[in-house]
Amino acid sequence: MAALAPLPPLPPQFKSIQHHLRTAQEHDKRDPVVAYYCRLYAMQTGMKIDSKTPECRKFLSKLMDQLEALKKQLGDNEAITQEIVGSAHLENYALKMFLYADNEDRAGRFHKNMIKSFYTASLLIDVITVFGELTDENVKHRKYARWKATYIHNCLKNGETPQAGPVGIEEDNDVEENEDIGATSLPTQPPQPSSSTYDPSSMPSSSCTGIQIPPGAHAPANTPAEVPHGTGVTGNTIQPTPQTIPAIDPALFSSISQGDIRLTPEDFARAQKYCKYAGSALQYEDVSTAVQNLQKALKLLTTGRE
């Protein structure tokens, strides 16, 4: 991919998008689609913050030039030309980054790459908002990932041992200004984790630099767990719990034969989106989520309602 023209210095008003822009630069060669949407998010957010101050207008103008250049280079990529494909691509990538960090965390392998992966996953979930509102699950993953990045970073910085696995969140912690997290290199190829559901147990309170971990609040319910290989652990090993597959509503099948349902282009687009989400869930062996999304698509196509 051809090099993009450099941006002018970042105006102070745009400090909140600096890490999104850095993430874009990191992905110019690794995944240009992710790089494009990171810049698009930064552009949209910057316009809302300040589009009138001369230095901000100059910066946004150059950022727009980068976006146009990227769009021209990626003109035949469906993830750019079709929002549904782009949204699924970005969500899959963010989830893979989250799962890599989450599995490293559960295995007690605390290092800069896993911290950066947690934080980058939270940034990419921010970027998903260019397609519309986030799902409740994405909101939970973003909050948990950003909190985990701060918590583990502060523990390591102060020579303390972080608590591995799902822990509670007392409040949102602002890590936007933490250059140590934002500047760390990402792993070249995050390993593909295996997926299973888990049952969070009550966690004892702990703290690193004053961050309290109250019992009762845990990682998002669909966050997969993985037992690290070759650890020799024979005691309290996390065992995958059987997945509960939602029952299928028989009424959905009886309504398939009805031919008086008129669907709009928006209905078809939403149904496609649910099918994309189902496909994404199956990549991580999340049968329950896949079935739920397929049911939503089927209901929409057979009744015209969600």
Flag residues of the chain having pLDDT under 70: 1, 168-260, 281, 283-285
Spatial distance between the Cα atoms of 206 and 214, rounded to a whole number of angstroms: 8
293 CB contacts (<8 Å, ≥6 apart)?
274, 275, 277, 278, 281
Spatial distance between the Cα atoms of 96 and 47, rounded to a whole number of angstroms: 30
User: What pLDDT was estimated at residue 187?
Assistant: 53
Contact 67, 94 (CB under 8 A): no
User: What pLDDT was estimated at residue 133?
Assistant: 94
Question: CATH number of the domain at 12-81, please?
Answer: 1.25.40.270
Q: What is the pLDDT of residues 120-155, one digit of tens each?
A: 999 999 999 999 999 999 999 999 999 999 999 999
Asked if CATH classification 2.60.40.1170 holds for the domain at 83-158, the reply, yes or no, is no
User: What pLDDT was estimated at residue 279?
Assistant: 80
Spatial distance between the Cα atoms of 143 and 104, rounded to a whole number of angstroms: 18
Strands 207-208 and 211-212: antiparallel
How many other CB atoms are there within 10 angstroms of residue 128's CB atom?
A: 21
Task: With 0.75 as the threshold, say if the pTM is over it.
Answer: no
CATH fold match for the domains 12-81 and 83-158 = yes
User: What pLDDT was estimated at residue 134?
Assistant: 94
Report domain extents, the chain.
Answer: 12-81, 83-158, 265-303
Question: CATH number of the domain at 265-303, please?
Answer: 1.20.5
Phi–psi pair at 221, nearest 5 degrees = -60, -30
